[in-house]
Structure 1
């Protein structure tokens, strides 16, 4: 059981998250995420794809030179590539239970470190970047990289241009972004959405 501080209110919210964080589960989920993001568009031309004449370079015998068929052979500059990369899909299936457990453990990791905060309202933030900078300064969050989870378009617009801030909708919260940023700040309403994703076991 963790007590998550609610910034600006002095209150806390009780959260039921794993007591023990398994780094291997986090590794598996991050590896699955990054594999799914790979475009897989790398492509090389094989010997049959290069634009060279297929005419034999010189007679097979009596020249004193090695036997060659055409300039498209892999040993020549500009020739085809042997076993080079071809377009492919790098994604694979990871069980839903592992994905859910990975998200729970990533949240627990931030909670253990005291870097998971909830916010009821972003006071004074109405769409301007300087307003969000002032809000960060007021809560001593200027320095670290920050993952902001919000469904408020004005708050998202205020924060999205800051290089140290990554903005996500509650539905897009994921293990990689949680671990990639130092601090996680979530709207209280976003926390309810995340609890629903975790099967109602967030509190």
Structure 2
């Protein structure tokens, strides 16, 4: 299930961990450029329990980029996107969940 999907992403080097998912302004163009710089054209981005509204709004109109809070993490979305991006808060929540 979920552990297997996460392991598969880690093994295929398709897992990225970032400090936080925050934006000063909800600018889609700026976020799209940043994601493209990181090579993220098809990704699932998982934040903590509370998503930064500016980040969420900016990401909404970017094709092939999905943003979910940690509670929404699921196998289908992980496997559907090429890269999985986790915030540190998401990693901490997953560690708690799998204890």
How far is the alpha carbon of 1:192 from its aligned partner? 0.9
Could you tell me which residue of structure 1 aligns to residue 10 of structure 2?
111
TM-score by length of 1: 0.44
Q: Does 1:193 align with 2:93?
A: yes
CA distance in 2, matches of 1:121, 1:112: 23
Q: Which runs of 4+ in 1 moved over 4 A?
A: 122-125
Instruction: Tell me how far 1:182 sits from its aligned partner.
Output: 0.8
Q: Secondary structure at the match of 1:104?
A: helix
DSSP 3-state at the match of 2:17: strand
How is 1:46-125 mapped onto 2 (pairs within 5 angstroms)?
102-122=1-21
Deviation string, structure 1 residues 88-145 (Cα, Å, up to 9, x no partner)? xxxxxxxxxxxxxx11110000000000001113576631111211211221223xx2
2:34 is aligned to: 135
Unaligned regions of 5+ residues in structure 2, if any?
A: none
Between the aligned partners of 2:68 and 2:29, the Cα distance in structure 1 is 19
CA distance in 2, matches of 1:167, 1:123: 12
> Counterpart of 1:159?
59
Aligned residue for 1:140, secondary structure, equals coil
Contact 1:170 1:193 in 2 (8 A): yes
Distance 2:36 2:22 in 1: 13
Identify, as 1 or 2, the structure richer in strand: 2
Greater helix percent: which structure?
2
- Kept after mapping to 1: 8 A contact 2:44/2:77: yes
Q: Please, what is the CA RMSD of the aligned residues? A: 1.7
Q: What count of residue pairs does the alignment treat as equivalent?
A: 96
Q: CA deviation at 1:156?
A: 1.3
1:147 is aligned to 2:44: yes
Change (3 A) 1:154 1:134: same
Distance 1:134 1:122 in 2: 15
